[in-house]
Structure 1
């Protein structure tokens, strides 16, 4: 009798655990939101479900949209700024259960006149809208195992109120340059220690000068390469200057980079160890300076 009771208890435990797993993982279509906080639009903006193929304990959801551009243009307009930083968020569908997803694949694109532009999402589902103004359809795809959900948004990219024609987008909206170290297999392609800062922006004056900052030294060895890439900056800088300083902070060289290039590589040797470098990015309208930013790093 005792063995029978133990067996029954084990079976009940298995059934309870199975039920818990089924409840946790058998979830409905998530809700998708666009987070584009520019000080004016701080609330999450819901995206509209389009093509859906989803199965859960609440049943199957099958929706088909033949033309997502036409469908997207029928939705309420969301206005964002050029180069505006944005992110995607997904919430549990309260009618269908929790938000337990294994490892969903999430992609995003912009559509305009039948042409697709893929957006690059980072691990936090953050991205930037392009610099070019216009009306676009945002397409987001969420794939979790056999379940697929597509969402759309009607997006208008235009200058934010108060941004005058001929000015740069907000500094925080501009894409930053990247700096990586190429060396040993363990550190190949890792981000190198640096600072990136605004010198002046949209209100530059003739005395808006650059001061050599005190930066933390990054670890580098002879034979490493330091690669700086500003190819994703929009608009492109009008002028790029590479400055080199000795250990006392005195400038020892200045090099004007070609405007048709978007990268510079510094090969580390014995003479460069202990030196500090600064890449100056300048945006100009004729003789007028619109913006100035600086990427600074030091080789240890």
Structure 2
């Protein structure tokens, strides 16, 4: 009987201890950066403006004027036609679709996204870039202020 009691205490203590070593996961909507493919790789973060994300809890954010939010961001400088990779800081979700467009002088131009890579516009100027993520956990829309040289 004592053997069973000791064995029970050991098993209980072991289970209690292993529960304390659990990992802390971040299920918030992912931050996204744009990474250029030059000899000096650099990354720039976009700002999340519209969020509907359901993972450990529901995250929502609605921004009515995404263009003014984008204009207030740090200007990201790229070259004409430069290839850029979309990098998610955390990726504990499945991407269903990534789409992007740029706005210049009120004109919206769709950008073809191949996997997680796209090319900046071929025309110089100041643009607002909008990236839309559709994932199994929800949707997030990101914006940035871009200068094409």
TM-score normalized with structure 1 length: 0.39
- Find the partner of 1:135 among 126, 130, 137: 126
Name the structure, 1 or 2, with higher relative contact order (CA <8 Å, separation 6+). Answer: 2
Query: Is 1:27 paired with 2:27?
Result: yes
- Find the partner of 2:104 among 103, 106, 112: 112
How far off is 1:30 after superposition?
A: 0.9
Gaps of 5+ in 2: 1-23
User: SS in structure 2 opposite 1:104?
Assistant: strand
- Find the partner of 2:86 among 84, 88, 101: 88
In structure 2, distance between residues paired with 1:115 and 1:35:
25
How far off is 1:106 after superposition?
A: 0.8
In structure 2, distance between residues paired with 1:121 and 1:141:
11
Q: What corresponds to 1:48 in structure 2?
A: 47
Checking the alignment, whether the CA contact within 8 Å between 2:132 and 2:139 is kept in structure 1 is: yes
Gaps of 5+ in 1: 1-22, 93-98, 159-300
In structure 2, distance between residues paired with 1:50 and 1:102:
20
- Greater Rg, structure 1 or structure 2? 1
User: SS in structure 1 opposite 2:27?
Assistant: coil
Q: What corresponds to 2:69 in structure 1?
A: 71
- Pairing of 1:1-300 with structure 2 (within 5 A): 27-40=27-40, 42-57=41-56, 59-92=57-90, 99-123=91-115, 125-145=116-136, 147-158=138-149
In structure 2, distance between residues paired with 1:103 and 1:150:
13
Q: What corresponds to 1:214 in structure 2?
A: none
User: SS in structure 2 opposite 1:71?
Assistant: helix
User: SS in structure 1 opposite 2:69?
Assistant: helix
In structure 2, distance between residues paired with 1:55 and 1:69:
25
CA RMSD of aligned residues (A): 2.0
Tell me which stretches of 4 or more aligned residues in structure 1 moved more than 4 Å: none
How far off is 1:88 after superposition?
A: 0.8
In structure 2, distance between residues paired with 1:31 and 1:87:
14
Q: What corresponds to 1:271 in structure 2?
A: none
| Structure with the larger helix share | 2
Checking the alignment, whether the CA contact within 8 Å between 2:95 and 2:133 is kept in structure 1 is: no
In structure 2, distance between residues paired with 1:149 and 1:122:
18
Give CA deviations for 1:92-122 in whole Å, capped at 9, x if unaligned.
1xxxxxx332343111111123221111111
How far off is 1:73 after superposition?
A: 0.5
In structure 1, distance between residues paired with 2:107 and 2:59:
28
